[in-house]
Amino acid sequence: MSILIKNGTVVTSAATTKADVYIEGEKVHTIGTNLSMKADKTIDASGCYLFPGGIDAHTHMDLPFMGTSSSDDFETGTLAGLHGGTTTIIDFAFQKQGDTLQNALNVWHEKADGKAVGDYAFHMVVTDFNEKSRAEIGPMVARHGISSFKTFMAYKGALMVDDKSLVGLFHEVEKYGGIVTTHAENGDLIDTLKAEHIAKGNLTPKFHAITRPPIAESEATGRIADLAFEGKHPLYIVHMTCEDAVNRVRQAMLRNQKIHVETCIQYLLLDDTVYEEPDFGGAKYVMSPPIRKKKDQEVLWAGIDQGLVEVVATDHCPFCMDQKRAGEKDFSKIPNGGPVIEDRMELLFSEGVVKRGMSLQKFVDVTSTAPARIFGMAPKKGTIAVGSDADIVIFDPTKKHKISHKTRHMRVDYNMFEGWEVTGKCRQTILRGTLAIDDGKALVGKGFGKYISRAKYAQPLN
């Protein structure tokens, strides 16, 4: 199968060039002007950008969490991703406390293999760092292509690990060329504040945000940065939301420390007035960390501009309203997470590129190239280059549309950006040389996605 894309503008994190792209099999074969190969299919991309397929470095498909499971599985979630220009996800395989990493990996392969429509990789979540799981780190990197290990500093009793485990994991992961990633919130502080508010009868969704204040995030951010610095380990902090945490990273960088920071599109665009939405509407935005203030959004946008925030992901973890209603009488029982995967690329283009003048290079970098580079998928993924996987989004930058859960494909009954007017639309999505989405129509289905085995974080120079 071959595809010739004519008259588009190819955007990579390095350059914007008017060029044709010829795809043969799963790979980009030729990039040039006036290409005239005989292809099975020719697409006219006049007036459109060609972006590298989006990589969402933070998703939770089919995740058992807080007494229920996230409502998108690997089939529906990755298909929604393809509609929204995301061709590859990195999902999280959760170790059960007392169980092995290998079992976690087996369970996640069962959820995804033969089901995912888009490509997928896994981070390994270490919830129980002991001698047995320590010995599993090396094989995870070398045999299974899992080079990133996630830790939680919150959700005590279920996911949270102590500082001793964090230190031990840093050492072990670095030995094998991996990287530790962290959900940075102080779980003990949050649990104390939660208990205090629940005792006072403060039970509505807005108390989710009140009991997870910025200081819980900035303290944990500073602590994990210090622990990484002590052993000179690389670090990736997931879903950063607020000024105080960003400033902790700024301080760490003054001592020449390398920390990668991810934020998510919802933290760039929403503020904490969402928790006032009537009729339990605030529950739609219950996620951790919570949605912050407008001034925090500005800090995150500036952080992207400065190169401090390198990745814009989603933390896609949807729950339908009847699942959210488990916490109707107590905010602490509302399952944490929201649906975002399909909205990320179009929203960042509209709000970032169109409204704030973000460069096309930066847009591509934070949505695709940087996650590919950090998480060992470059240059196979994350760029449009000869020899790379032909994962390409043909994007119409002028098309205006309105977001609604009724027209999106995520398996959930609301959208956090319902009614938002957006400029720019993913017209076609190509995954490994196959036209996957054509003007809203899915041309691939269950099982089309492939597992992506990733390289080490610390690539040797040659």
> What does the DSSP assignment read for 194-213?
HHHHHHTT--STHHHHHTS-
> What does the DSSP assignment read for 346-357?
HHIIIIIIIHH-
Residue 260 binds which of ligand URP, Zn ion, none (CB < 5-8 A, kind-dependent): none
Residue 287 binds which of Zn ion, ligand URP, none (CB < 5-8 A, kind-dependent): ligand URP
| Cβ nearer to Zn ion, comparing 52 with 335 | 335
Residues 375-404 that bind Zn ion (CB under 5 A): none
Q: Smallest distance from the beta carbon of 385 to Zn ion, in angstroms? A: 30
Q: Smallest distance from the beta carbon of 379 to ligand URP, in angstroms? A: 28
DSSP state of 453: P
Q: Which residue is nearest to ligand URP (CB)?
A: 336
Hey, what are 269's tokens? Answer: 């665009």
Residue 88 binds which of ligand URP, Zn ion, none (CB < 5-8 A, kind-dependent): none
Binding mask 5-44 for Zn ion (x = CB under 5 A): ----------------------------------------
| Cβ nearer to Zn ion, comparing 360 with 410 | 410
Element containing residue 117 per DSSP (H, E):
none
| Cβ nearer to ligand URP, comparing 335 with 433 | 335
| Cβ nearer to ligand URP, comparing 286 with 431 | 286
Contacts of 243 (CB under 8 A, 6+ apart): 214, 295, 296, 299
Closest-CA residue to 86 (of 111, 117, 64) = 117
Please list the alpha-helical segments (H only) found in 272-415: 294-306, 321-324, 344-347, 355-356, 360-364, 370-374
| Cβ nearer to ligand URP, comparing 93 with 444 | 93
Q: Smallest distance from the beta carbon of 65 to ligand URP, in angstroms? A: 6
| Cβ nearer to Zn ion, comparing 183 with 197 | 183
Closest-CA residue to 5 (of 435, 454, 451, 413) = 435
Task: Answer yes or no: are the C-beta atoms of 180 and 157 closer than 8 Å.
Answer: no
| Cβ nearer to ligand URP, comparing 147 with 336 | 336
Hey, what are 190's tokens? Answer: 């949050």
β-bridge partners, 23: 3, 28
Residue 91 binds Zn ion, judged by CB under 5 A: no
Residue 337 binds which of Zn ion, ligand URP, none (CB < 5-8 A, kind-dependent): ligand URP
> Can you tell me the distance from the alpha carbon of 44 to that of 448, in angstroms, rounded to the nearest whole number?
25
Task: Name which position in 83, 111, 183, 194 contacts Zn ion (CB under 5 A).
Answer: 183
Q: Smallest distance from the beta carbon of 141 to ligand URP, in angstroms? A: 22
Binding residues (CB under 5 A) for Zn ion: these are 183, 315
